Structure 1
Amino acid sequence: MGRRIVGRLLQTVPMLFFVSVVCFAMIKLGPGDPVLSFVTPNMHAEDIERIRHNLGLDQPAYIQYFNWLKEVVQGNFGYSLVNHQPVLDQILDRLPATAGLMGSAIGIGVLLALPFGLLAGANRGRWLDRAVNAVAYVGISIPVFWLAILMIYLFAIHLHWLPSMGMRTIGVSSAADVLKHGLLPCLTLAFGFFAVYVRYIRSSTIGQLREDYVQLQYAFGSARRIVLFRHVLKHVMLPIITLLGMSMGDLVAGAIVTETVFSWPGIGSLGMTAVKGMDYPLIMGITLLSSLLLILGNLAADILYTIVDPRIKGSR
Structure 2
Amino acid sequence: MGNANGGGAPRRPRPLSLSLVLRRCAAALATLVFVVLANFFLFRILPGNPEKTFAPRGRNADPETLRQLRETLGINDPLNVQFGKYLQQLAHLDLGWSWSKKEPVLDLILRGLWPTVLLSGTALVLASGIGVWLGSRAGWRYGSRFDRWSSNLAVTFYSTPEWLLGLVVLVVLSRFGLGAGGMTDPRSDLPVWLDVLRHMLVPVLVLAVVYVAEYSLIMRSSILDERRADYLTTARAKGLRDDLVLRRHAMPNALLPTVSLLFLSLGFVVAGAITVEMVFSWPGLGRLTYEATRGPDVPLLQGLFLFFSAAVIFMNLLADLLMPVLDPRVRQP
TM bracket (short chain): over 0.9
Is the Cα–Cα contact under 8 Å of residues 95 and 104 in structure 2 kept in the other structure?
A: yes
**Residue from 32, 49, 52 that aligns with 1:36:** 52
Higher mean C-alpha displacement, 109-118 vs 243-252: 243-252
| Contact 2:227–2:250 (Cα < 8 Å) also in 1 | yes
Residue equivalent to 2:63: 45
What residue identity is the alignment partner of 1:78?
Answer: G
The 5 A counterparts of 1:92-241 are 92-155=110-173, 157-160=174-177, 162-172=178-188, 173-241=191-259
* Contact 1:12-1:292 at 8 Å conserved across structures: no
Contact 1:91 1:286 in 2 (8 A): yes
**Superposed structure 1 runs of 4+ greater than 6 Å apart:** none
Contact residue 241 and residue 304 of structure 1 kept, 8 A: no
Structure 1 gap ranges (5+): none
Other-structure match for 2:72? 54
Query: 1:22 aligned to 35, 38, 49, which one?
Result: 38
Q: Distance in 1 between matches of 2:275 and 2:60?
A: 36
Larger deviation: 121-130 or 53-62?
53-62
Q: Does 1:71 align with 2:93?
A: no
Secondary structure at the aligned position of 2:102 is classed as coil
Q: What CA distance in whole angstroms lies between the structure 2 residues aligned with 1:171 and 1:131?
A: 43
**CA shift at 1:63, angstroms?**
2.6
Q: Deviations over 1:121-167 (max 9, x none)?
A: 11111211110111111112111111000111122x1222x332100
For 1:216 and 1:13, the matched residues in 2 are separated by 45
Q: Tell me by how many angstroms 1:7 deviates.
A: 4.4
In structure 2, distance between residues paired with 1:304 and 1:9:
13
Asked whether the equivalents of residues 24 and 321 of structure 2 are also in contact (C-alpha less than 8 Å), the reply is no
> For 1:54-77, what per-residue CA distance to the aligned partner results, in whole angstroms no more than 9, with x for missing partners?
111112333322211211112111
- RMSD (CA atoms): 1.9
Gaps of at least 5 residues in structure 2 are 1-15
| One-letter identity of the residue aligned with 1:141 | S
> Distance in 2 between the 1:253 and 1:70 partners?
25
Structure having the larger proportion of residues in helix: 1
TM-score by length of 2: 0.88
Cα separation, partners in 2 of 1:219 and 1:90, compared to 1, 3 Å: same
SS in 2 for 1:204: helix
Alpha-carbon distance, 1:194 to partner: 1.0
Structure 2 CA distance for partners of 1:295 and 1:38, relative to 1, 3 Å? closer
Alpha-carbon distance between aligned partners in 1 of 2:240 and 2:47, rounded to the nearest angstrom: 64
How far off is 1:42 after superposition? 5.4
Between the aligned partners of 1:7 and 1:81, the Cα distance in structure 2 is 39
Letter in 2 for 1:234: P
Q: Which has the higher contact order (CA 8 A, sep 6+)?
A: 2
Distance (whole Å) between structure 1 residues aligned to residue 316 and residue 310 of structure 2:
10
Is the 2:120–2:269 Cα contact (8 Å) retained in structure 1?
Answer: yes
Q: Deviations over 1:228-272 (max 9, x none)?
A: 112111011111111112213322221011111111011110111
**Partner Cα separation in structure 1 for residue 180 and residue 201 of structure 2:** 10
Aligned residues: 313
Deviates more, 1:33-42 or 1:252-261: 33-42
> Which secondary structure state, in structure 1, belongs to the residue aligned with residue 51 of structure 2?
helix
1:226–1:102 distance in 2 versus 1, CA, 3 Å = same
Post-superposition offset of 1:285: 0.9
Query: Shift of residue 177 of structure 1?
Result: 1.2
State the alpha-carbon separation in 1 of the partners of residues 222 and 79 from structure 2.
48
Q: CA deviation at 1:6?
A: 4.7
Relative to the length of structure 1, the TM-score reads: 0.93
Identity of aligned residues (%): 33
Distance 2:217 2:321 in 1: 24
- Cα-to-partner distance string for 1:103-137 (whole Å, 9 max, x where unaligned): 11111111111111111111111211110111111
SS in structure 2 at match of 1:29: coil
